[in-house]
Structure 1
Amino acid sequence: MKAKGLLRLGMGIAIALFCVHEVCHQAYRANALPGQTTAEVAAWIKGNPTLSPYSGQTLLVNRTDTPAQRFTFEASVLAPGLAVPSEEPGIVRTERINLFDMINGVTFNRLQESLRSIYGLAIYQDFQQARVIYSYPNPAMVQEARTLTLPLQEALKGELRLGSRFAYWVEFPQPQNGKPIMGKITILLKSDLDKLEAQLRNR
C-alpha cells in the first residue's frame, strides 16, 4: 500500500508539473507583442521554439526550407501601411507572419494555425473572436481590376479584425485558377487600426 501511495503521489506531482509547464509555455510564447520594447521582443523571438531564429537574427526571422517554401516573421517599430516615422522608436508596433509555399499552398486556416503555433492559445482565441471591420475586395474593386486587366489586384483578398487585445490584418491572393501560394497575418496595436483601414479603403 505504501508503494502504491508513493506511486500515486509521484504521478500526481508529475501531472502537476506538466500542467504548470504547459501554462507557462503558453504564456511565454505570447509574452512579447506590439506595445513592448524591441529588446523584450528580440529576447522572446530568440527563445521562441516555433520561430527558432538563426544566429544574428533579432527582429527579423527568415527561413527557407526549399526555393518553393519560405517563412518570414518580422517585428517592426513602424505602424502598418504607409511608412511614417515612429513617435516611439524603441516600441514594436507590428508583428507580421509571411508564408510562401508553392507546394502545399497557403490557406486562411494555415495562417491562423501559424498564429497559434507562434503565440499560443490566448492570441489565437483573440483573433478568432475578433470582429471583422473591413474586408476586400468589394464588387467595385473587382470590376475595376478586371477593366484594367489587373489579375493580381483582383485576386488579392484581405480583412481587418478588431479583437479585445489587438487588431489583426490578414491578406492573401486567391487566384481563380490554382491554389493560393502566399499570405500574411499581422498583429497591430488597436490605436493604429483606423489609419490602416483608411489607407486600405483609399488605395
Structure 2
Amino acid sequence: MVMEFLNETFKCSVERVDIYDDNLPESGDIGVKSTVRLLIRNSDLHTFDHAWNQKLSLLLENLEVTGTCTFLMWNTKNGFYVDPTLFKCKRLLFCSGSADWVTKEILLQFEVPQLSFYYCPFPVEDIISFVIHWFHSDNEKLEYLFILIEDNQISLENFQTEELNPVPISDKNRVPSSESFRNIDFSKGLKIVRHDGLQATIHVTGRDFLFYVWHNQ
C-alpha cells in the first residue's frame, strides 16, 4: 500500500525489480508502476506452467520498464511462453539458456529497440530471416540485434544475396551511438539500404553477430 501510494502521488520509478521463481503475485501487480531495470530469473528446479506465464504476462502489461529487461532463466524450452509484444522496454537481454523458448516466429514479433542474446541456439536461417524481415518492413524502432551464437557458425557470406543487395561501406570512421559497440570496426561488415533509405550494417566476428541500424545518420 505504501509503495502504491508513493507511485500514485509522486510518480516514482523504482531503480530495479527482481522476479524470482514464485515471488510473483496472482494478479501480477507488485505495487510498482515503473522501473528502470527488470530482472526475471528462476532456479534450476523451477517448472513453468500456464498460471505462472499468465502472472508474468500481467506484470509485463502493468509495469513500465524504461531501461533493460533481463532474462536469467533455465529450462525455458519446457512450458514457458509470454506474448513477445508485451515487452516495451528499451533493451531486452537474454542470458544463456533464457531464449530457448524463442522461435523464429517469436523473434520476428519483438518490438524492442535493442535486442541481445547470449549463447543463443538460433539457427543461422532464423537470423537471416530476421534481417530479411526488417529489410522489407517499416520498422523504425529497431536499433540493433546482437547474438552470441552458441553452436552454429555464421559468416557474412550468408547475407550476400541478391535480395538484400549489400553494398561496400565507404565510411570507415562511422561511430555508433551505442557505447557497447564503439570498439567494432564497422568497415569490415556489410551495409544494406532499405526501401526508405534507412541503412544497417551486418557484422560478424567469430560467434558474435551484430545487426546495427543507423538512425539519423
TM-score when normalising by structure 2:
0.28
Select the structure with the greater relative contact order (CA < 8 A; seq sep ≥ 6).
1
* Bigger Rg, which one: 1
